[in-house]
Structure 1
Amino acid sequence: MTVPVEPPPPAEPPAPAPAGPYDGRANAVLGRVPAAVRTPVLEAGGMILLLGRIVHSAVRHPRGYWGSVVDEMYLTIRQAWIPIAAALFGFLMFMSILTVQFFAMAGASQLFGPLLFLQSIRTFSMWIDSMVVAGVIGTALTADVGARKVREEIDAMEVMGIDPVRDLAVPRVLSITFITTLLAIPSMLITMFSMQIGAAYVAGMPASHFYSNLFSNMSPVEVASVVANHFLVGLLIGTICCYKGLNASGGAIGLGRSVNQAVVLSFVAVWILQLAYNSLLLGVVPGLGAFR
């Protein structure tokens, strides 16, 4: 008697590919990277993409947003000029008094103005400017754009065919960039004035000697490098704050978290930018800042 052979069970169908941002073959490798490493890289890439879209929109279609840029600059300057001036004057006055005492004890008071001023406008004043811009202007930008995102206004704009990058990001990023660039000249004047007061109060240095030594060691390259540095810092802070606002989520708590993250990321990014910018600048112009 022949025993019937049962047919083998049918093979199970292959498991469906997981749906999500890492469902592709190439992206699956990225999905295995720990979140602590993956998230900062993705955010940096998103900021670079946003910056590219802003520059492309502003250059390709340079009309229609300048009125919004002027309005944003007016409102921002009206709200932020007092804390910016107070922070610059207070910090630099304190540093000038301490530094001029050191130069006076070393018998080199005539070197105080040129050396400290050239280093201050390149590093310390730039850092103070970036902190004030990110803390005062950047937080307002992130909160404004983030509130629109939380209230789903940006989603409604996309449904109506309005580009939120063109309508929201371009005017705000350009306004904060121009404000930071224009801040370079008042920042240098406040630095110069506060240092002169510190030199006259502590070391008894006449104003004529201070400004004579200072202007004999300045060059147009110094001023141009400071203005270009402010431009890059403003563009960087504006892009970071706008990106965090456009990607805010989680209601009011998430919006507050995005504002805090925008300020912290701006400080870190400015520090990295200054390290690269000053290294490149001193490499291209090695005699910059030398005493003459």
Structure 2
Amino acid sequence: MSQHLEAEAPVYDGPPIEPDGPYGSKLSLFVANVPGPIRSVTAEAGGMTLLLGKVLWSAIRHPRGYWNDVLDEMHFTIKRSWLSISIALFGFLLALSVPSMQFVNLAGVGELYGPLLLVQSTRTFTVWVATLLVAGVIGAALTAELGSRKVREELDAMEVMGIDPIRTLVLPRMVSITLITTLLAIPAEIITVLSSQFGAWFVGGIPRVDFYSFLWSTMSTVELVTLMFNCFLAGLLIGAVCCYKGLAAQGGAMGLGKAVNQAVVIAFLALFIMQLGYNAVILGFFPGLGAFK
């Protein structure tokens, strides 16, 4: 009787069902039949989302005990990377402002540079350049640090000792990179204004008085608030991607280097997609932001 039942049991001939990432569970038969590239992308996106949810739940449920680590991490990170980020931010934004001013100057509408292109730069290029620098400098270092601990099996040793690596290692670093990205919005905006004013004066000959009069008549409090909230969401995204890829690193030094490269590339693509959706939602709620004043 048992042999007859075993003969009638369905046999699964699809791809092997394996967990993807440190927080993945066994995939269902439906997900296992999805093509490999789509399945791997979906599994990684789900793992990053699950990791972000665990970190947020831990931070909100127990909001004490990790702020000293957050401050130490922020101090160490800012001390190590503020100069490179500042120079790169000014250089990128200056390289964007000068060609933009040349274009509008050739079109004969150089006086519109302040009220139009500067606002668009604030909404897009400022956040884009600042977050890319954070992902490329701080995010890569974060992935390498967590990945090296994973490769050396330090995370497994922490779990054996009853220490939660998410609470101890991931939470302070994710909060730190989110706060750094949010606070970077203010100096990034200042650098955007200074570089744009230099481009407007050097190329278009626009006096500083006219430039800043255009700026204050166009820029609003909503623009600055949305800029900081945009950087806040970008920091969460960078932290989730880089922490997940660091925890998922395997295969020794070669696997660690591959995880760092993948983390930076995925963060770049995810930031680009997030910017498109975020700006569309903001302009939907505040359509007056795109109006000429």
Normalised by the length of structure 1, the TM-score is 0.91
Counterpart in the other structure of 2:22: none
Counterpart in the other structure of 2:54: 53
Letter in structure 1 aligned against 2:156 = D
**Cα shift at 1:17:** 7.0
Counterpart in the other structure of 2:37: 36
**Cα shift at 1:12:** 8.6
Counterpart in the other structure of 2:191: 190
Distance 2:27 2:259 in 1: 30
Is the counterpart of residue 155 in structure 1 residue 156 in structure 2? yes
Distance 1:279 1:145 in 2: 34
Counterpart in the other structure of 1:133: 134
Q: Any idea what the Cα deviations from partners look like across 1:207-235, whole Å, max 9, x if unmatched?
A: 11111111111110000000000000001
- Count of residue pairs the alignment pairs up: 282
Distance 1:31 1:222 in 2: 45
Within 5 Å, give how 1:242-261 maps onto structure 2: 242-261=243-262
Q: Any idea what the Cα deviations from partners look like across 1:123-157, whole Å, max 9, x if unmatched?
A: 11111112111110000000000100000000011
Letter in structure 1 aligned against 2:36 = A
**Cα shift at 1:117:** 1.3
Counterpart in the other structure of 1:108: 109
Consecutive unaligned residues in structure 1, runs of 5 or more: 1-9
Is the counterpart of residue 287 in structure 1 residue 265 in structure 2? no
Consecutive unaligned residues in structure 2, runs of 5 or more: 20-24
User: Is contact 2:17-2:32 (8 Å) kept?
Assistant: no
**Cα shift at 1:107:** 2.8
Letter in structure 2 aligned against 1:152 = E
Counterpart in the other structure of 2:89: 88
Letter in structure 1 aligned against 2:89 = L
Counterpart in the other structure of 1:273: 274
Distance 1:149 1:142 in 2: 10
Flag the structure with larger Rg: 1
Distance 2:218 2:261 in 1: 40
Distance 1:68 1:228 in 2: 23
Question: Does the C-alpha gap of structure 1 residues 26 and 98 become closer, same or farther in structure 2, counting only changes over 3 Å?
Answer: closer
Distance 2:70 2:162 in 1: 22
Distance 2:35 2:115 in 1: 49
Distance 1:148 1:96 in 2: 42
SS at structure 1 position matched to 2:289: coil
SS at structure 2 position matched to 1:208: helix
Letter in structure 1 aligned against 2:110 = S
SS at structure 1 position matched to 2:288: coil
Question: Does the C-alpha gap of structure 1 residues 195 and 153 become closer, same or farther in structure 2, counting only changes over 3 Å?
Answer: same
Within 5 Å, give how 1:193-272 maps onto structure 2: 193-272=194-273
More deviation, 123-132/59-68:
123-132
Distance 2:114 2:56 in 1: 39
Q: Any idea what the Cα deviations from partners look like across 1:174-231, whole Å, max 9, x if unmatched?
A: 0000000000000000000011111111122111111111111111000000000000
- Identity across matched positions, percent: 55
Distance 1:229 1:13 in 2: 57
Within 5 Å, give how 1:5-44 maps onto structure 2: 11=4, 13-14=6-7, 21=18, 27-44=28-45
